[in-house]
A = this chain, B = another copy of it.
Amino acid sequence: MTTALSSDFPFAVEARDGRARAGRLRTPHGVLETPCFMPVGTKGTVKAVSPTQLAGIGAQIVLANAYHLALRPGVELVAAHGGLHGFMGWHGPVLTDSGGFQVFSLADTRAVRDDGIEFSSVYDGSRHLFTPEGVMRLEEALGADIVMCLDECPPATAERRELERAVERTTRWAAACRAAQRRNDQLLIGIVQGGTDEELRRRSATELQQIGFGAYAIGGLSVGERGEEMLATVDLMDELLPEERVRYFMGIGDPRGIVDVIARGVDVFDCVLPTRMARTGTALLRDGSRANLQNARFAADLAPLDATCDCPCCTGFTRAYLRHLVNQRELLAHQLLTLHNLRTLVRLCADARVAIRAGRFAQMAASVAGR
Q: Which residues of A contact B (CB under 8 A)?
A: 43-52, 72-73, 77, 80-81, 87-89, 279, 299-300, 302, 312, 316-318, 320-321, 323-325, 327-328, 330-332, 334-336
Contact = CB atoms under 8 A, between A and B. Distances in A.
A84 to B, nearest CB: 10
A328 B316 CA distance: 30
A88 B316 CA distance: 9
Contacts of A44: 321, 324
Contacts of A80: 300, 302, 320
Nearest to A73: B324
A265 B178 CA distance: 70
Contacts of A336: 50
B51 A316 contact: yes
A331 B329 CA distance: 13
B317 A89 contact: yes
A324 B81 contact: no
Nearest to A300: B77
A87 B318 CA distance: 8
Nearest to A339: B50
Contacts of A77: 299-300, 320, 324
Contacts of A302: 80-81
Contact of A335 (B48, B72, B320, B327): B48
Contacts of A87: 318, 321
22 contacts: A43-B324, A43-B330, A46-B332, A47-B332, A48-B332, A50-B332, A50-B336, A51-B316, A52-B316, A72-B328, A73-B324, A73-B327, A77-B300, A77-B324, A80-B300, A80-B320, A81-B302, A81-B320, A87-B321, A89-B316, A279-B331, A331-B335
A143 to B, nearest CB: 14
A45 B332 contact: yes
Contacts of A316: 50-52, 89
A10 B334 CA distance: 39
Counted per complex, copies of this chain come to: 2
Nearest to A76: B300
Contacts of A48: 331-332, 335
A44 B333 CA distance: 12
Kindly list the 6 A-B residue pairs having the minimum CB-CB distance in the complex, ordered from nearest. Answer: A48-B331, A89-B316, A73-B324, A45-B332, A45-B330, A43-B328
Nearest to A89: B316
Given A52-B312, A52-B316, A87-B321, 13 more contacts: A43-B328, A43-B330, A45-B330, A47-B332, A48-B331, A50-B312, A50-B335, A73-B323, A73-B324, A81-B321, A88-B321, A279-B331, A331-B334
A286 to B, nearest CB: 21
A328 B320 CA distance: 31
A139 B276 CA distance: 37
A329 to B, nearest CB: 10
Contacts of A299: 73, 77
Contacts of A318: 81, 87
